[in-house]
């Protein structure tokens, strides 16, 4: 039979045309598909606040949050007996939004990590001044902490802040393909989304961005416990953090009365077992004036100046970083006046809590927290 090429070999130009159309359609489909994945990732980040692969739980947005009108959170961890324990015992009252515990710890969520309020701008400006004037006291980082600091910074700037507080922080992609920045809508500044080469500079950026202090602990080289390798602490309570650098958890807490007997073992165990994705909070209380008293220091009775004295509460958080496995200990410092506490009707509770420092399982706290110095005078005012 004669072979008819007209039917078996299609003409060259239409075939070429078909191939080109097929390839360009495939390319178009591929582009649309990639864009869809991109869009899904972005919208997932915006709606759930988690970028795939960062290992953190999703962050819920506070869409209407207005920092200017938000009063500082009121934490009133006053207990008639001060017991040093890691237990999860709840506070005896929860009138306020932040139901808390005293020495014990409480499980919470990623959402609560950073709390904003109307003091934000004043506080970050003060923090920046402190970091400039007292750099070596408030900032430090060993090279070994870089990956942990970078991991936390990129998540905070790239995910947490713009998701949780979209009216304060926005990710801006400048035209011309330049890298995105975090715009602080309160200060009008743009902040790089990438960490600095030096971890100390990344900590400086972090310290001037939110009103929280951060301490980074990495697993100790000998595999026993965790060691402090970097920090930005503008408001440490009665200790010099730079003196604690490169110390293990138990050595950091050496001046804390009864720490060795009551807390050391359980805290080391707790830290070793803490899994990424869990967030732990704790509140600690006071001092009304001055700092701590350490062994050997003298007690002198002080008259509390009601106008100047402050009840100090730290809203503390603990979590483990998903990638580097370092532990981040962070805290926001809240200050309340004695008249404020009294007007709320907590005068007697606070007076009992001052005595309670003597009545629990670690009576040395009455001395350590300087209640021996200012307690009598503060109680007289609170109960008057």
State the residues that interact with ligand HEM by CB under 6 A. 84, 86, 103, 105, 215, 217, 228, 238-239, 244, 252-253, 255-256, 267, 282, 284, 292, 318, 329
In the complex, least distance from residue 332 CB atom to ligand HEM, rounded to whole angstroms? 14
Nearer to ligand HEM, 102 or 304 (CB): 102
Nearer to ligand HEM, 162 or 236 (CB): 236
Nearer to ligand HEM, 21 or 266 (CB): 266
Q: Are 293 and 373 in contact (CB under 8 A)?
A: yes
Nearer to ligand HEM, 219 or 238 (CB): 238
Q: What is the DSSP letter of 173?
A: -
Between the alpha carbon of residue 186 and those of residues 35, 166, 182, the distances in Å are 32, 11, 12
- Residue 58, number of CB atoms within 10 A of its CB: 16
Q: How far apart are CA 198 and CA 64, in angstroms?
A: 36
In the complex, least distance from residue 194 CB atom to ligand HEM, rounded to whole angstroms? 27
* Residue 196: partners with Cβ closer than 8 Å, 6 or more residues away: 202, 205
Q: Are 124 and 209 in contact (CB under 8 A)?
A: yes
In the complex, least distance from residue 239 CB atom to ligand HEM, rounded to whole angstroms? 4
Nearer to ligand HEM, 158 or 360 (CB): 360
In the complex, least distance from residue 369 CB atom to ligand HEM, rounded to whole angstroms? 7
| H helices present in the chain, as ranges | 5-8, 12-48, 120-133, 135-138, 146-155, 161-164, 199-207, 249-252, 259, 265-273, 338-343, 347-359, 365-368, 371-382
Phi, psi of 109 (to 5 degrees): -120, 170
Nearer to ligand HEM, 120 or 367 (CB): 367
Nearer to ligand HEM, 72 or 77 (CB): 77
Q: Mind spelling out the 3-state secondary structure of 283-338?
A: EEECCCCCCCCCCCCCCCCCCCCCCCCEEEEEEEEEEECCCCCCEEEEEEEEEEEH
Q: Are 157 and 182 in contact (CB under 8 A)?
A: yes
Nearer to ligand HEM, 189 or 297 (CB): 297
Nearer to ligand HEM, 163 or 233 (CB): 233
In the complex, least distance from residue 227 CB atom to ligand HEM, rounded to whole angstroms? 9
In the complex, least distance from residue 200 CB atom to ligand HEM, rounded to whole angstroms? 17
Which secondary-structure segment (H or E) carries 230?
A: strand 226-232
In the complex, least distance from residue 102 CB atom to ligand HEM, rounded to whole angstroms? 9
Q: Are 180 and 51 in contact (CB under 8 A)?
A: no
Closest CA to 337 of 314, 369, 311, 313: 311
In the complex, least distance from residue 190 CB atom to ligand HEM, rounded to whole angstroms? 32
In the complex, least distance from residue 156 CB atom to ligand HEM, rounded to whole angstroms? 18
Largest interatomic CA distance in the chain:
121
């Amino acid at each position: 039979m004669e072979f008819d090429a007209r039917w078996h070999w299609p003409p060259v130009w239409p075939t070429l045309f078909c191939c080109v159309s097929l390839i360009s359609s495939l390319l178009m489909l591929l582009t649309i598909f990639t864009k869809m994945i991109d869009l899904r990732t972005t919208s997932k980040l915006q709606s759930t606040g988690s970028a795939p692969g960062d290992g953190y739980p999703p962050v819920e947005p506070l869409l209407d949050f207005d920092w200017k009108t938000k009063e500082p959170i009121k934490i009133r961890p006053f207990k008639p007996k001060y017991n040093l324990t890691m237990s999860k015992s709840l506070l005896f009252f929860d009138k306020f939004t932040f139901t808390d515990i005293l020495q014990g710890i409480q499980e919470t969520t990623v959402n609560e990590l950073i709390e904003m309020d109307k003091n934000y701008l004043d506080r970050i400006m003060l923090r920046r001044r402190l970091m400039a004037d007292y750099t070596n006291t408030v900032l430090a980082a060993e090279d070994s902490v870089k990956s942990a600091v970078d991991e936390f910074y990129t998540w905070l700037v790239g995910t947490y802040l713009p998701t949780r507080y979209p009216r304060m922080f926005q990710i801006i992609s400048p035209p011309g393909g330049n890298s995105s920045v975090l715009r602080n809508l309160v200060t009008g500044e743009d902040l790089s989304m990438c960490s600095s080469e030096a971890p100390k500079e990344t900590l400086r950026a972090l310290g001037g961005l939110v009103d929280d202090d951060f301490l980074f602990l990495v697993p100790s080289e000998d595999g026993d416990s965790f060691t402090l390798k970097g920090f930005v602490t503008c408001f440490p309570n009665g200790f010099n953090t730079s003196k604690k650098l490169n110390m293990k958890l138990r050595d950091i807490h050496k001046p804390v009365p009864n720490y060795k007997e009551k807390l050391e073992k359980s805290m080391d165990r707790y830290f070793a077992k803490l899994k990424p994705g869990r967030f732990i909070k704790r509140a600690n209380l006071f001092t009304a004036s001055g700092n701590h008293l350490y062994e050997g220091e003298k007690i002198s009775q002080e008259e509390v100046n009601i106008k100047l004295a402050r009840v100090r509460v730290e809203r503390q958080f603990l979590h483990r970083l998903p990638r580097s496995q370092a532990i981040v200990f962070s805290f926001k410092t809240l200050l309340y006046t004695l008249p404020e506490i009294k007007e709320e009707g907590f005068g007697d509770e606070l007076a009992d809590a001052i005595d309670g420092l003597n009545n629990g399982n670690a009576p040395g706290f009455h001395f350590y927290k300087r209640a021996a110095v200012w307690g009598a005078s503060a109680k007289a005012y609170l109960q008057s």
